[in-house]
A and B are shown apart, each in its own frame.
Chain A
Amino acid sequence: MMTQKILAPLDGKVFQLKIKAGDQVEDGEEILVIEAMKMETPIFTPCDGTVREVRVKEGDNVLENDVLAIIDEEHSED
């Protein structure tokens, strides 16, 4: 099974966390929002899958390239 690491694209604070371990997510779904420089940057999943691990909680400060979550990628049959 392939896993996808979700990395922080910039330094900031986790403003919204919309997933927890075990959740099913769909390709392109907004799973987390980072607040930085007065703006909110949404983070999207790059694939369908299941959330294996969430490494942050709301209010956490994160640095660029920190791992925020890990998704077990689900391959469609077709």
Chain B
Amino acid sequence: MEFGHSLKKGRIKSTEENLNSIKTIEEDVADKVNRVKLAGFPEEKINARGQMTVWQRLEYLVDSGTWCPLHTLYNPMNNEEGTTNVIDGIGKISGKWAVIIGFDNKVMAGAWLPGQSENILRVTDLAKRLNVPLVWLVNCSGAKLTEQEKFYANRRGAGTPFFRHAELEQLGIPVLAGIYGTNPAGGGYQSISPTILFAHKDCNIAVGGVGIVSGMAPKGKFNLKSAEEIIEKAKQFRVKPPGSVNIHYDETGFFRYVFEDETGVLDGLKDYMKDMPAYPPRFFRVAEPKEPRFPIDDLYRLIPINPKRVYDFGEVLARLVDFSEHMEFRPDYGPEVYAGLCKIDGFLVACIGNRQEYLGRDYPEYADTPGMGGKLYRQGLIKMNEFVTLCGRDRIPIVWFQDSSGLDVGDAAEKAELLGLAQGLVYSIQQTDVPMVLVLLRKGTASAHYLMGGPTANRHNAFTIGTAASEIYVMHGETAAVATYSRRLVKEKDAGRPLEPVIEKMNQLAKDYHEKSRPLFCAQNGLVDEIVPLRDLRKYLVAFTGAAYQNPKSICPQHHMILPRVIKG
């Protein structure tokens, strides 16, 4: 069934300010992304050395128009370099979807930096969740030694990705690696842990490099004599670094292929990707791909930047799914939640989102006060539990759209079993082994951020994308200030002391909440995996859906699916 409406001229007139506000934030995000791209040495300097930058390698490797970057602004340890020093995303190579990641060789020759292993683990998790190849562009000089205490060790430290590579391989997920430059120590394991190694002729991989060999025998302190010895050894290793292609192609055979040119390595990866396991799209498609019937740029007018402003979620969805068509699940039940089957690029997907409008005097049925969209009530929770469970049965990937202020509260809500139904939804998601993606349209708040396919569902949530309107916090900052300081206000009042110092703290807390919920904060700290311009949302959904259907771990024949028939009646 078709849904959605064209924007009326009055609506266009009324929403100029909203459009401009969103675009201003998107420009700010783009500016920060550009800074990451410019981190380290300039491109010309790298090119003058006869090398391509990681960005140039990605540009050459990935099929045009398919690159969906992730974690670009992720920098949880606030590195002065402004990056974790790996660049990653989803894209097609030779027509097949892959998760792709490369070291930024402009920054300390691709060194390990704080926060990098967390970034890599997100990427290995993504390849595992989508069951698609992981393609590496290795160019890793090893640890940034002056900050090793921040990332070298620990449960999710710099060595953990090597175990993840082994895990992917044991699951049958290939890890392909193009290898460039000098890769000692950690860089050596980054190179050796993938499945098939495509080496550039000048690369080397080794257990240790010049730095390690020189410092192997600590003598308590350095002096002029030892400095001279170090210089001599360093010169030696500069002439002949360990682990070149002479060793690892001719002797060990670790390198499956060696290429003369940098682009040759990438051509080798492209050639291999043609043969990676994948069903042809027609195997799973339920219809020919079609664009939505309405322009995606309408989203700039449909999604209010003001978090309190009500809007029509159906109109948003109509700008994202094929031909603006859907089959809605239980439209007369749980009106605060949209659940329905849609198509993205001809593939069947399940969409779940928060409706925002007033729900009428008689809803929720268990309370005396009327309900408002954005909140979750008993029926909406039951509906999501049912829908998710049936998606698992029918093997349908789920796209969550989140914009929620949380669950209904109070004794009536408790009596209506909301707490149990909420954890029931967690249970339903956990036992539904299909890839999920979250689009955080606006608010991710309270437990609703967990329940509705958020990144906390980290075995299921492939990735989470935010928008310029996204904000994430446990509760609104002013609510938090009241919760924190209300008793203090009473005490100060009773004691006859001035209230201003407490009020100042309340305002400061609300301000902190605001600043620490903004899109840039969310991206830097990994609360979302990327802030995506609204006009690119569908592109990411196409990537997610295509990847999810490329080589799924299980199949439900279309004529065995129960959910479309439950909806049809």
Q: Does B361 contact A (CB under 8 A)?
A: yes
Task: Tell me the smallest distance from the CB of A72 to a CB of chain B, in Å.
Answer: 15
Task: Tell me the smallest distance from the CB of A42 to a CB of chain B, in Å.
Answer: 7
In the complex, the answer to whether A64 meets B361 with C-beta atoms within 8 Å is yes
Task: Tell me the smallest distance from the CB of B356 to a CB of chain A, in Å.
Answer: 8
Q: Does A36 contact B (CB under 8 A)?
A: yes
In the complex, the answer to whether A29 meets B374 with C-beta atoms within 8 Å is no
Return chain B residues, CB-CB under 8 Å to A62: none
Task: Tell me the smallest distance from the CB of A75 to a CB of chain B, in Å.
Answer: 15
Give the distance in Å from the alpha carbon of A39 to the alpha carbon of B357 in the complex.
9
Return chain A residues, CB-CB under 8 Å to B306: 40
Task: Tell me the smallest distance from the CB of B42 to a CB of chain A, in Å.
Answer: 48
Which of chain B's residues 1-18 have a Cβ closer than 8 Å to chain A? 7-15
Q: Does B405 contact A (CB under 8 A)?
A: yes
Return chain B residues, CB-CB under 8 Å to A48: 10
Give the distance in Å from the alpha carbon of A40 to the alpha carbon of B311 in the complex.
9
Give the distance in Å from the alpha carbon of A40 to the alpha carbon of B358 in the complex.
10
In the complex, the answer to whether B310 meets A41 with C-beta atoms within 8 Å is yes
Give the distance in Å from the alpha carbon of A9 to the alpha carbon of B13 in the complex.
22
Q: Does B240 contact A (CB under 8 A)?
A: no
Q: Does A30 contact B (CB under 8 A)?
A: yes
In the complex, the answer to whether A38 meets B10 with C-beta atoms within 8 Å is no
Task: Tell me the smallest distance from the CB of B135 to a CB of chain A, in Å.
Answer: 45
| Interface class of chain B by DSSP | loop
A27 touching B370 in the complex, CB below 8 Å, given contacts A39-B310, A42-B310:
no
Return chain B residues, CB-CB under 8 Å to A10: 358, 370
Residue of A nearest to B369 (CB): A37
Give the distance in Å from the alpha carbon of A40 to the alpha carbon of B309 in the complex.
5
Which of chain B's residues 355-389 have a Cβ closer than 8 Å to chain A? 356-358, 361, 370, 372-374
Task: Tell me the smallest distance from the CB of A74 to a CB of chain B, in Å.
Answer: 12
Return chain A residues, CB-CB under 8 Å to B12: 28
Give the distance in Å from the alpha carbon of A9 to the alpha carbon of B373 in the complex.
14
Give the distance in Å from the alpha carbon of A19 to the alpha carbon of B412 in the complex.
40
In the complex, the answer to whether B10 meets A29 with C-beta atoms within 8 Å is yes
Give the distance in Å from the alpha carbon of A56 to the alpha carbon of B372 in the complex.
23
In the complex, the answer to whether A28 meets B11 with C-beta atoms within 8 Å is yes
Task: Tell me the smallest distance from the CB of A7 to a CB of chain B, in Å.
Answer: 13
In the complex, the answer to whether B14 meets A36 with C-beta atoms within 8 Å is no
Q: Does B225 contact A (CB under 8 A)?
A: no
Give the distance in Å from the alpha carbon of A45 to the alpha carbon of B306 in the complex.
21
Q: Tell which of A29, A38, A39, A64 has the most Cβ of chain B within 10 Å.
A: A39
A39 touching B374 in the complex, CB below 8 Å, given contacts A10-B358, A26-B13, A29-B14:
yes
- For the complex with contacts A10-B370, A29-B14, A39-B310, 17 further pairs of A-B residues with Cβ separation under 8 Å are A10-B358, A26-B13, A27-B8, A27-B9, A28-B8, A28-B9, A28-B12, A28-B14, A30-B11, A36-B372, A37-B370, A40-B308, A40-B310, A41-B357, A42-B310, A44-B11, A44-B14
Interface on A for B, CB 8 Å cutoff?
9-11, 25-30, 33, 35-42, 44-45, 48, 64
Of the A-B pairs whose beta carbons lie under 8 Å apart in the complex, a sample of 9, sorted by A's number, is A27-B10, A28-B14, A29-B10, A29-B13, A30-B10, A30-B14, A36-B372, A38-B405, A41-B310
